[in-house]
Structure 1
Amino acid sequence: MRVLFGWEFGAGLGHVTRFRPIAERLSAEGWEIVCALQEIERGDALIDRATGRRLPGVRVIQAPRWNIPSDPKIRQIPTHIFADVLRIIGYGNVEALRQRISAWRDLIDVVKPDVVVGDFSPTLNLAARGRVPHIGVGNGYTTPPAGRPMPPIRPWQEKLEPFSVENERALHRSINAALAALGDPPVDYVADALHGDETFVFSLPLVDPYAAYRTETTLPPFNMPRNITPKPLAEREERGVFLYLPRSHKLTPVAVAATKAAKVRGSGYISDLAPDGARAESGPGLTIHPEPQDFATVLPSVRLIVHHGGLSTAVAALLAGTPQFILPWNLEHSVTARGLAATGGTVVLSGGHEDETSLRNAISNLASDQGIAERALAAAGTVDLGDPEAAIATMLGRVKALAGA
Structure 2
Amino acid sequence: MACILLGWELGANRGHVVRLAEIAARLMADGHSVHAALQNVDGAVDILPDGVVLWQGPVWPRLLVNVSRLTGPPVATMADILARLGLDRSESLAGLIHAWDSLLRAIDPDIVIADFAPALLCAAAGRVPAIAVGTSFERVPGSLAAFPSLTGERPVFDESALLDATNHALRATGRAPIAALPQLFRADRSLVASFREIDVYADARTESPVAPSIGSGAPALSDGKGEEVFVYGFEAMMADAALWDGLAKSGLPVRVHVPRATPALSERLTALGFAFEPEPLPFDRIARDSRILVSHGGHGFVSAALLCGLPQVVTHYDLEKRGYADCVVKLGLGGQVPLLAIRAEPFAESLRRLYADDALAARARAAAPGFHAQMDRLIDEEVASAVAELRP
Per the normalisation by structure 1, the TM-score is: 0.88
2:330 matched to 1:338? no
Mapped contact 2:220–2:287 kept (Cα < 8 A): no
Q: CA deviation at 1:204?
A: 1.4
Partner of 1:50: none
> What whole-Å deviation, never above 9, does each CA across 1:337-369 have from its counterpart, x for those lacking one?
111112322011269951112222222333333
Q: CA deviation at 1:336?
A: 0.5
- In 2, the alpha carbon distance for the partners of 1:346 and 1:145 equals 28
Residue 266 to residue 15, structure 1, CA distance change in 2 (3 Å): same
1:67 alignment partner, one of 61, 71, 81: 61
2:237 matched to 1:236? no
Code of the residue aligned with 2:191 in structure 1: it is F
Partner of 1:286: 274
Partner of 2:29: 28
- In 2, the alpha carbon distance for the partners of 1:330 and 1:72 equals 16
Query: Structure 1 vs Structure 2: percent identity of aligned residues?
Result: 28
Residue 396 to residue 379, structure 1, CA distance change in 2 (3 Å): same
Partner of 2:121: 125
1:348 alignment partner, one of 336, 343, 366: 336
> What whole-Å deviation, never above 9, does each CA across 1:71-112 have from its counterpart, x for those lacking one?
999465232221111111111211122111111101100111
Deviates more, 1:37-46 or 1:120-129: 37-46
Partner of 2:194: 203
Per the normalisation by structure 2, the TM-score is: 0.90
Q: CA deviation at 1:43?
A: 1.5
- In 1, the alpha carbon distance for the partners of 2:384 and 2:345 equals 50
RMSD: 2.5
- In 2, the alpha carbon distance for the partners of 1:351 and 1:396 equals 39
2:131 matched to 1:150? no
Higher RCO (C-alpha 8 Å, min separation 6): 2
Q: CA deviation at 1:127?
A: 1.0
> What whole-Å deviation, never above 9, does each CA across 1:225-256 have from its counterpart, x for those lacking one?
644233344x322xx21111101224753212
Residue 100 to residue 231, structure 1, CA distance change in 2 (3 Å): closer
Local SS of the residue matching 1:174: helix
Code of the residue aligned with 1:236 in structure 2: it is G
Mapped contact 2:317–2:339 kept (Cα < 8 A): no
- In 2, the alpha carbon distance for the partners of 1:305 and 1:87 equals 33
2:210 matched to 1:214? no
Local SS of the residue matching 1:124: helix
Code of the residue aligned with 1:116 in structure 2: it is V
Q: CA deviation at 1:45?
A: 5.3
Unaligned runs of 5+ in 2: none
Deviates more, 1:112-121 or 1:273-282: 273-282
2:5 matched to 1:15? no
Q: How many residues align?
A: 389
> What whole-Å deviation, never above 9, does each CA across 1:172-213 have from its counterpart, x for those lacking one?
111110111122211222111122222222221111111011
Mapped contact 1:116–1:134 kept (Cα < 8 A): yes
Residue 332 to residue 225, structure 1, CA distance change in 2 (3 Å): farther
- In 2, the alpha carbon distance for the partners of 1:232 and 1:199 equals 36
- In 1, the alpha carbon distance for the partners of 2:70 and 2:373 equals 34
Residue 236 to residue 218, structure 1, CA distance change in 2 (3 Å): closer
> What whole-Å deviation, never above 9, does each CA across 1:143-180 have from its counterpart, x for those lacking one?
221133234252x74xx73x56x622111111110111
> What whole-Å deviation, never above 9, does each CA across 1:258-294 have from its counterpart, x for those lacking one?
2222211111111231356423421353122111122
Mapped contact 1:346–1:372 kept (Cα < 8 A): yes
Mapped contact 1:82–1:150 kept (Cα < 8 A): no
Mapped contact 1:143–1:195 kept (Cα < 8 A): no
Q: CA deviation at 1:320?
A: 2.1
Code of the residue aligned with 1:327 in structure 2: it is T
Residue 355 to residue 142, structure 1, CA distance change in 2 (3 Å): same
Mapped contact 1:321–1:378 kept (Cα < 8 A): yes
Mapped contact 1:263–1:285 kept (Cα < 8 A): no
> What whole-Å deviation, never above 9, does each CA across 1:19-56 have from its counterpart, x for those lacking one?
22221122123322110000001423544xxxxxx423
Residue 68 to residue 300, structure 1, CA distance change in 2 (3 Å): farther
Partner of 2:244: 256
Residue 20 to residue 381, structure 1, CA distance change in 2 (3 Å): same
- In 2, the alpha carbon distance for the partners of 1:73 and 1:67 equals 9
- In 1, the alpha carbon distance for the partners of 2:136 and 2:69 equals 26
